[in-house]
Chain A
Amino acid sequence: MKWLLFAWKNVLRNRRRALLALLIIAVGTAAGLIGGGFALFTYESLAEMTARDTGHVVVAHSAYFGDDEDLPMKNGLSGAGKLTEKFAEMPGVRAVVPRLHFSGLISNGDKSSIFVGTGVDPETEFRLRGPQMTFVSGEVLSSPAPSVPEVVIGNELARQMKAKPGSSLTLLATTTEGNLNAVDVTVKGIISVGVPDIDKRLVLTALPAAQKLLLTDKVSTLSLYLKDTSQTDATLALVKTAEPQLAAKTWLDLAVFYQSVKELYNRIFGILGAIMVVIILFAMINTLGMAVVERTREIGTLRAIGSQPGEIVRNFVLEGLVIGGGGAVLGMLMALAITVFLMFANLQMPPPPGRSTGYALLINYSTPLYLGAALTVLLVSGIAAWLVSVKAARKPITEALAHV
């Protein structure tokens, strides 16, 4: 405690210089925490988006994920009803959602366009994926399905088809037998998922309508939505044990975009963090280096009266830790204040590449991140202090005492 007090008094010797170093460390720490917090927010958002899109665990025919289908639904899943009941009883499973993926042509009588469709269970699909879909007009699909099948289509596709809720369109697709089949549908709603490329192809219809169009009773996949994302791997293991003949993947396996963004951000913010560390190192070396030079004679005096070189270095390391610790605490408070401010400021980020909608600028708070940043700053400060003082502490005492 006495040595810490001594270090504190030494830090206060040149207040302006110490304050400058402390502010540099604080800004560096805050920048690192804000960058890291933004990256964490992005990862969390992307993870949630991906899990909402695909489900936490996706179960399919064993060949579904690997082989291309010669005919539609060749690798489809039979007996979806029983499987759904079985998976729904597994612990932590919130819902089991069947999906049938298909594609074809959509026409308004005058004009045709390619569509990418999904046959869904209206009751669960819109509830689970709700926040991802913005209804431009109209409503969700009716349940139970009416006699004339309904569709919800992307807003870009609606614009191409000059469709609005209530419009009649025709879906044309290849059946499981390789023939063409058509069905007239009514537009029930127009949505946007925020990605123009998807919005100009997107068609959602009730699962029975899609099965009728493709002449099948199979589904493409069963998506298991969990109460807690952290249970994903455990649920995957349960599924594989219960149905070893089927293929199952987690949302993370299917989230190519998530993985690539995470890798990119990890590198960007890793480099940013490394730059911050270097800046903090230089600031500390500059501040403590000047202190060491100014106090060379004092070092000689303390060595003469019996301080070991290691004890001299320890004193400077403590000074470094005082400045570094102060800067880290101030930086954490700054980052925390900005995090709280953004929660209420509702600032929007511009749409990312390939998307039509922006997103709220938010920064996640993470205790491990804050602790990690504080420890890194303390470590860097200690190393800087050691670097600048170790040589001076070993200088011959007579030379140190003669220093002017």
Chain B
Amino acid sequence: MSATIPNSERVRLTGIRKRYNTGDTAVEALRGVSLNVAAGELVALTGPSGSGKSTLLNICGLIDHQDEGERFLAGTAINGMAEAQLTRLRREKVGFVFQNFNLVPVMNVHDNVEYPLLLLGVPAQERHERVRQALARVGIEQFARRLPDALSGGQRQRVAIARALIKVPYLVIADEPTANLDSVTAAQIVDLLRQLASEQGSAVVVATHDHRMADHCDRVVQLVDGEMR
């Protein structure tokens, strides 16, 4: 199966369906969604609340399961993988940027960015150098020893982006990354994501309500009632 997928293709979702049971009622969050994202491509998922953006993003980022359909990450079939295997794949190949930054408050900027490399068992010397470079690329190396609480929203999101990209992932999942930022900072974050995705060849999938963000993406996928429009 993987042989048929182009090398540049990072994510392939085919006929994804997801249903939630709330009491006696079943809500269909995704109805046969298919999506391909190539290396270096920045794709925006837009749509009203409840349209299935976050569900699709979670399935794409391997932190949720579809009921039907197939997923591939860099040519590897995901269906049927055990939880531990999925975790290993996320550890090695998927980066996350959250709306609320989700930094670990007791870790300083350096340690937050270093965390994924610790999980990968990268030697200390190399970790330190890669963290320094990552912080320099997102423009916050002077804040390396600061705790997240001592940073502005934009700075925290830069830390989160550095944490997502430090392992050079195949895929970056960004859930409303500009929602809590002012327009100037939001534009900077979009540019940064775009630039890093392009440089590293990572596919970036962004869920957003923000038209300014969507306008800067390579492709916009609109979801309405769990279907692509």
Residues on A facing B (Cβ under 8 Å): 2, 6, 9-10, 12-13, 297-298, 301-308, 311, 396-398, 401
CB–CB A9/B102 < 8 A: no
Determine if B163 is an interface residue (Cβ-Cβ < 8 Å): yes
Q: Contacts A306-B90, A397-B63 given: A301-B102 contact, CB under 8 Å?
A: yes
Partner of B84, one of A9, A10, A308, A401: A308
* Stretch with Cβ within 8 A of A (4 or more), from B3-11, B43-51, B114-122, B206-214: B114-122
CB–CB B64/A305 < 8 A: no
CB–CB A305/B95 < 8 A: yes
> Interface 1/0s, chain B 2-34, versus A by CB < 8 A?
000000000000000000000000000000000
CB–CB A398/B64 < 8 A: yes
Q: Contacts A304-B61, A305-B95, A397-B63 given: A9-B106 contact, CB under 8 Å?
A: yes
Which residues does chain A contribute within 8 Å of B120, judged by CB atoms? Answer: 306
Chain B residue total in the interface (Cβ 8 A): 27
Determine if B91 is an interface residue (Cβ-Cβ < 8 Å): yes
Which residues does chain B contribute within 8 Å of A298, judged by CB atoms? Answer: 102, 104
CB–CB B106/A304 < 8 A: no
- Please report which residues of chain B, range 85-134, place their CB below 8 angstroms from some CB of chain A when the two chains form the complex: 87-88, 90-92, 94-96, 98, 102, 104-107, 111, 115-116, 118-120
CB–CB B104/A304 < 8 A: no
Which residues does chain A contribute within 8 Å of B63, judged by CB atoms? Answer: 303-304, 397-398, 401
Partner of B115, one of A10, A12, A305: A305
Partner of A306, one of B64, B88, B102, B106: B88
Residues on B facing A (Cβ under 8 Å): 58, 61, 63-64, 84, 87-88, 90-92, 94-96, 98, 102, 104-107, 111, 115-116, 118-120, 163-164
The residue among A9, A306, A398 with the most chain B CB atoms within 10 A of its own CB is A306
Which residues does chain A contribute within 8 Å of B119, judged by CB atoms? Answer: 305-307, 311
Partner of B107, one of A6, A303, A307, A311: A6
Which residues does chain B contribute within 8 Å of A307, judged by CB atoms? Answer: 87, 91, 119
Q: Can you name 26 A-B pairs with beta carbons within 8 Å?
A: A2-B118, A6-B106, A6-B111, A9-B106, A297-B102, A298-B102, A301-B98, A302-B104, A303-B63, A303-B87, A305-B90, A305-B91, A305-B95, A305-B96, A306-B88, A306-B116, A306-B120, A307-B87, A308-B84, A308-B87, A311-B119, A396-B64, A397-B58, A398-B58, A401-B98, A401-B102
